[in-house]
Structures are given as structure tokens and as C-alpha cells.
Amino acid sequence: MKILVTGAAGFIGFHSVQRLAASGHEIIGIDNLNDYYDVRLKYARLALIERHSNFRFIKLNLADREGMAKLFREEPFDVVLHLGAQAGVRYSIENPFAYIDSNITGTLTVLEGCRKSGVKHLIYASSSSVYGANTKQPFSVEDRVDLPVSLYAATKKSNELMCQTYAHLYQLRCTGLRFFTVYGPWGRPDMAYFKFAEAILEGRPIDIYNSGEMSRDFTYVDDVVNAIESIVRSEPTNPEGSVPHRVYNLGNNKPEGLSRLVDLLELRLGIQAKKNLLPMQPGDVRSTFADISAAQRDFGYRPRTSLEEGIYRFGSWYLKYRQDGAKKEP
């Protein structure tokens, strides 16, 4: 298959390209390589995936309407894996327009490209953030998600509605993936586990929000990529005449406390963290917990990586990444 991966130099995009290219698919990856976090990490990821002869990279902004339209006119894709987005809950409070440009306009350019070029399947990233202020747990894809607590969450809910509309109007097959706190090697430096590791090694205190009374359904990146690969290979399961749009939770189905995460990082790094206890931050939620039954039923999703094993792997990678000087300018 010929697959477009947006956000190819991002965390999940990088791992997805590695897997899909290794499986023999022809991959074109796009990314604008913005400086939301250290671009040297993005270039380091890109250097690895460019070793695949069946991968080609194009630097392109999703909000560039003409550039995106030209890409879809010139490249006939079978599948689009749309992972490119402006990430981060707290940053959406500081820079809201970045989220509209990337997550709303950017997703619209992808949808229009798919519609006009006859793409068979659009797989796109949503987020557990859409559950917002919901108190019923575990979070089910059948739950209403009308109470977002951040603009980031609102844009991801909007993406789901946009895809539903295009599926209905144009019979474009769409699959939305609500990711639950994905972590692992080559991860995002703005996420808690990565920031904690950096601070612990540098002897700085780590910020613990809500005094640590928080839990997350931490999901190891390889488990997510296994699901993505299965969905890429999957055949439509929609009954005759139904709208070809499905949304799934991709979590570990096991919430873990923030203090547990810190304990495991301390164990792997061999250093005790200095903790700075802070109140709850705007846009944050106390707990996430994924009901993954629909993903299990439809494509055999089975997360297999415990937090202990996942943090050990991340810690091993991070220590080597720092030691090898991979943070040098590309």
C-alpha cells in the first residue's frame, strides 16, 4: 500500500513509519518540524526513518491549503494516517490559534485531499482529552463527550465531528483513535515522564500537580503501533448503508498513579527525585481510564506492556540518548 503519514517526525508518527516501512509499505511522511519542543529530537527521529528506501519525507505544513492540495493531486494514496497536530493541553491555553491552524484547518486539508483523490481509508488521531469532565469510568466510546476542559480537547472532538461529516457525505472510511497518554522511547519532551526524567538526572525538582493525586492510563507506544498496523490492514466492517466511521480507545485499560510513575523512574535512573507539590492546573483532569472493548472486538487490540517494563525501556533509551549526544544540532 501507499500510505501518507502526517506528523511523521513526531513521536507516534516516527514509530508508525518505522513499523509500516519495515512491513514493505510505500510511505510518504510530512511534517512542518515546528519548534513546539526541541527540533533536534525531531531531526534525530527523521534521520532514522529516512534510512528506509521506501520512505520519502516532504516538509509541509498541514494548514498550507495549496501545498496539501498539490500533494494529494500528485500522490495517489491508499491510506492516510493523520497523526500531525499541535499537541499539549496546557500550551493550548497559551497559544490557542496554533491549535485552530493545525488541528482544525490542518485536518480539513487532509479530509479534502482524501475526498478529492479517492483515498480508501483515513485513520486519524483523536485523544482521551475529549472525555474532559466526564466522571464515569472507564471511559467508553459510547459516552457523550460534550464537556471539554481545554481547547486542545475541543479541537480533537471537532476532528471527530468533521470526519463523521465527511464519512456521511462522501462515504470516506474514517477510523478515529483516542490515544491515552502514550509514552516510550523517542517520546515528547513536553510530557510528564520525559520532563521528570530530564529533571531527575539534572538534579532539579519535578513539578507534581494536584499533590500527586492523579492517575493516567499510560499506554506504551509499541502497543499503539501494533493497533495502527492492524487497522491499516483491516477490511471495512460497516453494515450496508451505514456511515463508515468508527472511533476507538487505545489505552492500557489500567490507570496508574502519578506517584507510581515517579517511583519507577527513580528506580530506573537510580536517583531519588526532588518533588515540588503544586495545585491542579487549568485544563487537567484527575484520572483517565480506557474501556478498550471495542478495539479488542474489532481488530484484536491487546496492550501487553506493563508500566514497569515500559518505563524501564524508556529510561534505557533516554540514558543512551543523552550519553550519545543525540541532542546536538542536526
pLDDT at 225: 98
What is the percent of the chain with per-residue pLDDT over 70, rounded to a whole number?
96
Determine the average pLDDT of the residues in 169-191. 97
Dihedral of the CA atoms 96, 101, 104, 107 (nearest 10)? -140
C-beta neighbour count of 36 within 10 angstroms = 18
Determine the average pLDDT of the residues in 155-159. 97
Determine the average pLDDT of the residues in 98-107. 97
State pLDDT tens for residues 49-72.
Answer: 999 999 999 999 999 999 999 999
pLDDT at 242: 73
Query: Amino acid identity of 245?
Result: H
In contact, 121 and 176? CB cutoff 8 Å: no
State pLDDT tens for residues 108-120.
Answer: 999 999 999 999 9
pLDDT at 324: 84
124 is catalytic: no
- Active-site option among 152, 193, 248, 301: 152
Q: What is the pTM of this model?
A: 0.94
The cell 493516567 sits on which residue? 216
pLDDT at 88: 86
In contact, 16 and 225? CB cutoff 8 Å: yes
Determine the average pLDDT of the residues in 145-168. 95
pLDDT at 62: 98
Residue 20 to residue 41: CA distance in whole angstroms: 21
State pLDDT tens for residues 201-246.
Answer: 999 999 988 877 889 999 999 999 999 999 999 987 666 667 799 9
pLDDT at 89: 83
C-beta neighbour count of 300 within 10 angstroms = 11
Determine the average pLDDT of the residues in 23-33. 98
pLDDT at 280: 80
Output the nine-digit C-alpha cell for 234: 483491516
**What is residue 78's DSSP assignment?**
S
Q: Is the pLDDT score of 301 beyond 70?
A: yes
Output the nine-digit C-alpha cell for 135: 466522571
pLDDT grade for 329, boundaries at 50, 70 and 90: very low
Q: Is the pLDDT score of 179 beyond 90?
A: yes
Write out the DSSP string of 197-255: HHHHHHTPPEEEEGGG--EE--EEHHHHHHHHHHHHHPPP-PPTTS--EEEEEES-S--
The residue extents of the domains of the chain are 2-323
pLDDT at 133: 82
pLDDT at 238: 67
Q: What is the end-to-end Cα distance of the chain in Å, rounded?
A: 31
In contact, 117 and 73? CB cutoff 8 Å: yes
Q: Is the pLDDT score of 87 beyond 70?
A: yes
C-beta neighbour count of 38 within 10 angstroms = 12
Determine the average pLDDT of the residues in 294-315. 97
Q: Is the pLDDT score of 326 beyond 70?
A: no
State which fold the 2-323 domain adopts. Rossmann fold (3.40.50)
